[in-house]
Amino acid sequence: MKEKIGFIGLGAMGSGMAANLVNKGWPLAVMAHRKREAVERLKELGAAEAGTPKELALASDVVILCVTGSEEVQQLLSGPDGLLASGKRMLLIDCSTSNPAVTIKLAAELSQQGITLVDAPLARTPKEAAEGKLDVMAGGSADGIARARPILEAFAARIIETGPAGTGHTMKLLNNFVSMGYSAIYSEALMIAAKAGLTPHVFDSVLRGSRMDCGFYQAFFEFVLNRNENAQRFAMANALKDMSYLASLAQALQAVNPVGAAVRNSFATAVAAGRGQSFVPALSDVIAAANGVSLTEAADGK
């Protein structure tokens, strides 16, 4: 008998994950947040709808959260209509990219109420979410992860156990630090190239196919070269949030992390310029504009 699943966060990733769960036979209840389209599609597939987090928890054995970060998770837990108001013992799977320090504290607090927390942040894209081929970093107790694993397998091709609660979110931040670090380096290099009279096409001709080429590079340059805004669907406001979480973690560890600070400031520049909802590859345009050049004009040879 499969456990009853409640799912909150039907965005670009969550809608595909939830569809995989219901299509693979898991009893599913969902809750609308910003848009109803995903809820209606899932209801057509057989999912039920709950009006509040409390109602969702009462209808579920396991609740999956796929929201932005720690603040949103805590909002869903608290209040008269929050998950905790249900009084239920449950497994809570947090697929958000949250602050590890908050996750560790939350896991200890929830365990006192009979709730097991597994942090299970995601890697890859909405395409893999829909295909059931995500990567998941799972932190938590051995029993908690064992219970979560068959559920995670509905939408994940790889599940990497990282250790106790909080380690999944730590690994996710490090994963994002590497990718956002690449973004900041690509953006700065493209800006210097443009100021020196080198086009993005020349830059790409040298790096593509070299040891510096990778899937992330190709997605980033699909925007730079072809202006495909959907090549890498991750908002710069979320990148700044994650890099701010990383700064908080480094500070708690008393670590010296100058590169992390530089990467965070690159995205802070973009958000301050009003580009927070643009996707990450658009950082290249922000850094170029801050230095008085345009990558599109450089590409056109102007």
Instruction: Please identify every residue annotated as catalytic.
Output: 172
Q: Mention every residue, 6+ apart, whose C-beta is less than 8 A from residue 158.
A: 134, 135, 136
Q: Enter the tokens of residue 281.
A: 């590859």
Task: Evaluate whether 249 touches 100 at the Cβ level (below 8 Å).
Answer: yes
**H/E element, 123:** strand 122-123
Say how many CA atoms lie within 13 Å of 78 toward its Cβ.
Answer: 8
Task: Evaluate whether 182 touches 239 at the Cβ level (below 8 Å).
Answer: no
User: In the chain, helix, strand, coil percent, each to 5?
Assistant: 55, 15, 30
3-class SS at 118? strand
Q: What residues pair up with 6 in beta bridges, in sequence order? A: 29, 63
Say how many CA atoms lie within 13 Å of 126 toward its Cβ.
Answer: 11
Pairing of β 122-123 and β 115-119: unpaired
Q: What residues pair up with 173 in beta bridges, in sequence order? A: none
The burial class, CB within 10 Å (0-12 / 13-18 / 19+), for 99 is buried
CA distance 141 to 102: 17
For the chain, how far is it from start to end, CA to CA, in angstroms?
Answer: 65
Task: Evaluate whether 281 touches 180 at the Cβ level (below 8 Å).
Answer: no
